[in-house]
Amino acid sequence: GEQVEQRPPHLSVREGDSAVITCTYTDPNSYYFFWYKQEPGASLQLLMKVFSSTEINEGQGFTVLLNKKDKRLSLNLTAAHPGDSAAYFCAVSPSSFSKLVFGQGTSLSVVP
């Protein structure tokens, strides 16, 4: 079945720097990709949903890139600020019905 590997597990950047989190997946037929943000002690909140038909997706302060050839999904936080400090999880919807497969998570710390 689908396997998702997320790197790095921990990331510390200075305020204003960029932060990049990457997930690689194995099922070439995967079509839906998600990024979730989990602030300390809180639940997971959807950051962005990406379809495989679109390779670059921009949100507020971040960009999601999808490289279907390499089966790689990345989240790039531009000009990170302390409010971005959280755990981030990618999730991939494989070709089979229903189950999302989550990455292991990245704990991001943005230092002032």
Partner 1 sequence: DMKVTQMPRYLIKRMGENVLLECGQDMSHETMYWYRQDPGLGLQLIYISYDVDSNSEGDIPKGYRVSRKKREHFSLILDSAKTNQTSVYFCASSLSGGGSQNTLYFGAGTRLSVL
| Chain positions contacting partner 1, by CB under 8 A | 6, 9, 31-32, 34, 36, 42-46, 49, 51, 89, 91, 93, 97-100, 102-105
Token couple for 72: 């790689």
Nearest one of 42, 45, 106 to 80, comparing CA atoms: 106
- The three state secondary structure string of 40-97 is CCCCEEEEEEEECCCCEEECCCEEEEEECCCCEEEEEECCCCHHHCEEEEEEEECCCC
Nearer to partner 1, 15 or 51 (CB): 51
Q: What's the min distance (Å) between Cβ of 112 and partner 1?
A: 26
Nearer to partner 1, 75 or 91 (CB): 91
Q: What's the min distance (Å) between Cβ of 62 and partner 1?
A: 18
Nearer to partner 1, 34 or 78 (CB): 34
Q: What's the min distance (Å) between Cβ of 43 and partner 1?
A: 4
Nearer to partner 1, 1 or 112 (CB): 1
Q: What's the min distance (Å) between Cβ of 87 and partner 1?
A: 9
Beta-bridge partners for 55: none
DSSP, collapsed to helix, strand or coil, labels residue 34 as: strand
- Cα 9 from Cα 106, distance rounded (Å): 4
